[in-house]
Structure 1
Amino acid sequence: MGRPRTPLLDRARITTTALELVDEQGEFSVPQIARRLGVQTASVYHHVDGRDGIVELLRERVAAAIDSGSLDHGPWDTAMAAWARSYRAAFAAHPRAIPLLTTSPVRAPKVLEQYEKAVGLLLAAGFPLPDVMPVIIALENLVLGSALDMAAPERMWELSDETATPQLARALGALGEGRADAAFELALAGYLAHCREMLTDG
């Protein structure tokens, strides 16, 4: 028998195509995926659990670039900082996926495993159970906001008349290269300092 003209449809190809669409336009639909792959929409549904299933495949694909192994080594604060930097880099590669993924419940088992590790790390460090998820969510807010900032123009403030905002003009003039990285590291340091205080006060 001859080989099929179009490679067999599978979840990996569906995920890749969905991510391409999200990177291009910030959204996807199952019919769009089918058209791009040259198949019927019904054929896509044979391989995935609807649109929500594709969202979770996207989450797994993006999160696969996060080094969760950092959560297994070193003091809790060093481990969380390393995880945060890796998490940020993974999502910065696909900033248009952030609104899509942050407005959908996390169900992907491989992603939930990372949260399980983070929870275990914080509990072992001595954080009270009620504080654990707020600590993780706060870090995610920091990471995802910074990942979006990395996709923004380097010059986010355009002053048509510097005399109207002289102090802002001076501050922008003093801003060095890599403003997104500098701001992220500042926020991360402040976050970790506060979390250390939480442990001491607790």
Structure 2
Amino acid sequence: MGRPRTPLLDRERITTTALELVDEQGDFSVPQIAKRLGAQTGSVYHHVDGRDGIVELLRERVADSIDPGTLDVAPWDAGLEGWARSYRAAFAAHPRAIPLLMTSPVRAPRVLEQYERAVNLLLDAGFAPADVMVLIIALENLVLGSALDLAAPETMWVLDDATATPRLGEVLAAVGEGRADRAFEVGLAGFLSHARTLLLSPSGA
């Protein structure tokens, strides 16, 4: 039997399969990837640096959907806002990957390059170095929390006895559609307002 024209395994197929598994069940294993691709588990390790290597490939795959060009937009707050919206959309497409990716160190070069661009944006705007990573982490917390909220059930609060929490029932009835989007807009506006104020009185001053 001749060799197949297309190899069973390569980094792209491994990444795609791992992401499919994460989207389905929130995690993956190397044996699961091998089984789905019709290969031996040991063969997967010939293409990737173990499970940690696959996690970084997943991080790059999801982050590839973030538009880094937003960080070139002036002024700085418009660039940061655009990056936040693109970041949220990228992770909202794969919300079950968030716990996996956010609990492991970032090593992927293309992702680190994007962080470098965000750092440059804030430093060039005049933020103190001590404030820059705090701002980026705070923005990530907002973005990723909102991406998870987009995947949450529309009914997150189940009131079996509405008489016990009547005011909660009242505001839940009043919130209407688009709760996650509206909450994100409130959080992003508050974040940017704080960042603008911080720029006027940086912690390093």
Q: Which residue of 2 aligns with 1:10?
A: 10
How much has 1:200 moved relative to structure 2? 1.1
CA distances 1:40-84 after superposition (whole Å, capped 9, x unpaired): 111100000111000000000000000111001111111111111
Distance in structure 2 (CA, Å) of the matches to 1:68 and 1:178: 27
Q: Which residue of 2 aligns with 1:196?
A: 196
CA distance in 2, matches of 1:52, 1:34: 16
Q: Deviations over 1:87-117 (max 9, x none)?
A: 0111111111101000110010110111000
Give the partner amino acid of 2:174. A
Question: Counterparts of 1:20-39 in structure 2 under 5 Å?
Answer: 20-39=20-39
The answer for the alignment partner of 1:61 in structure 2 is 61
- Paired residues, number: 202
Cα distance between partner residues in 2 of 1:23 and 1:188: 26
Query: Which residues of structure 2 form unaligned runs of 5+?
Result: none
Distance 2:148 2:11 in 1: 27
Deviation of 1:7 (Å): 3.8
Which residue identity is paired with 2:64? A
**TM-score where L is the length of structure 1:** 0.96
Matches within 5 A, 1:122-137: 122-137=122-137
Normalising by structure 2, we get a TM-score of 0.95
CA distance, structure 2, for counterparts of residue 12 and residue 48 of structure 1: 10
CA distance in structure 2 between the partners assigned to 1:42 and 1:59 by the alignment: 23
What is the CA-CA distance between 1:129 and the residue it aligns to? 0.6
Inter-partner Cα distance in structure 2 for 1:189 and 1:19: 32
State the shift of 1:173 in Å.
1.2
The reply to whether residue 187 of structure 1 matches residue 187 of structure 2 is: yes
Distance in 2 (CA, whole Å) between partners of 1:162 and 1:100 is 36
- 1:138-183 Cα distance to aligned partner (Å, 9 max, x none): 0001111111111100111121222221111111111021100000
Is residue 174 of structure 1 aligned with residue 174 of structure 2? yes
2: CA distance, partners of 1:8 / 1:21:
18
Matched residues in 2 for 1:82 and 1:20: separation?
A: 28
Q: What percentage of residue pairs aligned between the two structures are identical?
A: 76
**Structure 1 stretches (4+) deviating beyond 3 angstroms?**
5-8
CA RMSD of aligned residues (A): 1.3
Code of the aligned partner of 1:69: G
Partner of 2:71: 71
State how far apart, in whole Å, the 2-side matches of 1:158 and 1:104 are: 33
**CA, structure 1 residues 5+37, in 2 after alignment: closer, same or farther (shift >3 Å)?**
farther
**CA distance in 2: counterparts of 1:131 and 1:124, whole angstroms:** 13
Task: Give unpaired runs (5+ residues) of structure 1.
Answer: none
